[in-house]
Structure 1
Amino acid sequence: MGRASKGRATAITAPVIILVRPQLGENIGMAARAMLNCGLSTLRLVSPRDGWPNDRAQRAASGADVVLEGAEVFDTVQAAVADLERVVATTARNRELSQRILTPRRAALEMRGWLGQGERVGILFGPERTGLENDDMVHADTALSIPLNPQFSSLNIAQAVLLVAYEWATAGDTTPVSRMAEHATRPATKEELQNLFDHLERALDQSGFLRNKDMRPSMVLNLKALLQRAEMTEQEARTFHGVIKFLSKNKHEE
């Protein structure tokens, strides 16, 4: 089996995913899909059992054709990692080898640092049934272990690729951890919230709800704090104005 005939002098700005002796074309396709979901597109295959290209991989990739079309095939792990400065090997078992073992999250941060320094990085994933062997692991300088249920930590190769690729993607993601839905109106300004509270306070005074002079200050402060915590949108503030107006009108008509 020979490697794909393409040059490898181009700088790599994201990790190379290397599937070692993958057994099922479907898993290769699903791994490619997971890669592209997370912004990775460079795939290398070491001695895929059913040969390459593979129709089942194509079907399972669900449109991640760019990954499969660019995949390179190698006879050995040594050949697949020859041009890389850093290699991370995924493992679920304790090995005889002495290697640093990182979580996917930590590995993602370190890989971004290595790539930022111009180093080329690859991640090794082992066969579905056995995982990587020691002869494969010796080509890596770092090991990666996914913390899962110790009583049941079995993953197929595509699942493992997705978990590691996701940590890679989120390590560089700048999406706010909390935001309003796309269709929502803008957040209400402090002036709009103050106007809303003034409207509410007048209505509560008119209804007699704030008639207790001793309790009134704390009740007013609590209600004002409640409106601030609500993180209302401009549309919600206007709606609330309408609710207060409607309830006040009905109260006066009784």
Structure 2
Amino acid sequence: MTFHTYMLHCADDSYYVGHTDNLEQRIAQHQSGEIPGYTQTRRPVALVWSQDFGTRDEALSAEQQIKGWSRKKKEGLIAGDWDAIRQAARKSFDTGLRQAQPLLRTNGIEMTAFPPPPVIVLVRPQLGENIGKAARAMLNFGLTEMRLVAPRDGWPNPDAGPSAAGADFILDQAQVFETLADAVSDCAHVYATTVRKRGVTKPVVTPEEAAREIHAAQGRCAYIFGPERSGLETEDVALARKILTVPINPEFGSLNLAQAVILCAYEWSKQANLSQPTVTDLGEPAPQVELEGMIEQLNTLLEKVGYFFPPDRAPATKLTLRNLLTKPGWNHLEVRTLRGVLSHLNRPRER
């Protein structure tokens, strides 16, 4: 049987990555809106890349890897441009290529895929809303594979979707296991998140330290999180390789599930080459001569209205104003705008 990993270009110019055992049927379902979630509200969609695999695990692994890629890397894959993908990747990823990972192809050229992102494992989660919020936190920072261990209210849970706020596909693809051991059976590095001592002697790391280890690790990695009310049990922590905890107020060390997930996901994302918010050009700082002109103009206006009183305090007041006006690092446009305001105040006229 053949399995496929595929990428769709959506109407809002975003990309969706998935996997299936029937590519033609799945694409038709996306195009018709039969599949609820991400693509349903972003139609029309078009298939821009796909690759065949011999097993579902290989296809899923490739899907999870590509989902964590930046837009530039995805477009490099579509174009078959390995150099573009390599340039878009961080150095830590370039040196961490693993031959044991599934091979991706660009226009017939095979390349080794990057290590997959870590798995988020929720152990005996209680509320569907919290599972949805955890999915939302995951997707904010590029993590897409969720595993559930014996969810209290069963699965799927209708309360999870609204809380996911657009991260529905993570819930749709979440895998359910009866035991934690089964859920992490394919993971070589497992981090148990807890803020309390559980009578288990294991190395303890922060989210930042764990993220560095995961990016350098061979094999799959997982973060495990316990039930909302009580957290992980001793038996759960015993399955992990390390304990992950954060410096926290000892008088109030309770984090909700989504908060705990987002802490770990954020630290992992720092090295994941995710898209950054657009940088706003603040403009070059105005030259000193322009600032001097603005300050002199303001002082002149204030003197005309008797602001500097008593006279013996005038030097100190002017110095305070100078310090105030030179602090922000005004750019040329801002100085001109403010001087225009001052000029208008000096020559008021009705509109």
Match of 1:77 in 2: 180
Q: Which amino acid aligns with 2:57?
A: G
Match of 2:240 in 1: 140
**Structure-2 change in CA distance of 1:244 and 1:125 (3 Å):** same
User: What are the equivalent positions in structure 2 for 1:1-254 lying under 5 Å apart?
Assistant: 6-7=56-57, 9-10=61-62, 12-104=115-207, 106-107=208-209, 110-169=210-269, 186-191=282-287, 193-198=288-293, 200-201=295-296, 227-246=325-344
Measure the CA separation in 2 of the matches of 1:203 and 1:50: 68
Q: TM-score, normalised by structure 1?
A: 0.72
Q: Which amino acid aligns with 2:256?
A: N
Q: Which amino acid aligns with 1:146?
A: V
Q: Number of aligned pairs?
A: 232
Q: Once the two structures are superposed, what CA deviation does each residue of 1:120-139 show, in whole Å capped at 9, x if it has no partner?
A: 22100012233212221122
Structure with greater contact order relative to length (CA < 8 Å, sep ≥ 6): 1
**Equivalent residue of 1:51, what SS?**
coil
**Equivalent residue of 1:121, what SS?**
strand
**Structure-2 change in CA distance of 1:43 and 1:199 (3 Å):** closer
Contact 1:187 1:231 in 2 (8 A): no
**Equivalent residue of 2:259, what SS?**
helix
Measure the CA separation in 2 of the matches of 1:234 and 1:56: 53
Q: TM-score, normalised by structure 2?
A: 0.54
Measure the CA separation in 2 of the matches of 1:199 and 1:21: 64
Identity %: 42
Match of 1:212 in 2: none
**Structure-2 change in CA distance of 1:98 and 1:219 (3 Å):** same
Offset, 1:243: 4.3
Contact 1:201 1:220 in 2 (8 A): no
Contact 2:295 2:325 in 1 (8 A): no
Contact 2:297 2:339 in 1 (8 A): no
CA RMSD of aligned residues (A): 3.7
**Equivalent residue of 1:40, what SS?**
coil
Measure the CA separation in 1 of the matches of 2:294 and 2:229: 68
Contact 1:29 1:60 in 2 (8 A): yes
Measure the CA separation in 1 of the matches of 2:190 and 2:271: 18
Greater strand content: 2
Q: Which amino acid aligns with 1:168?
A: W
**Equivalent residue of 2:120, what SS?**
strand
Answer with 1 or 2: which has the greater Rg.
Answer: 1
Measure the CA separation in 2 of the matches of 1:223 and 1:123: 54
Measure the CA separation in 2 of the matches of 1:247 and 1:225: 22
**Structure-2 change in CA distance of 1:204 and 1:115 (3 Å):** closer
Question: Where does the alignment leave 5 or more consecutive residues of structure 1 unmatched?
Answer: 210-214
My pick for the range that moved more, 199-208 or 42-51, is 199-208
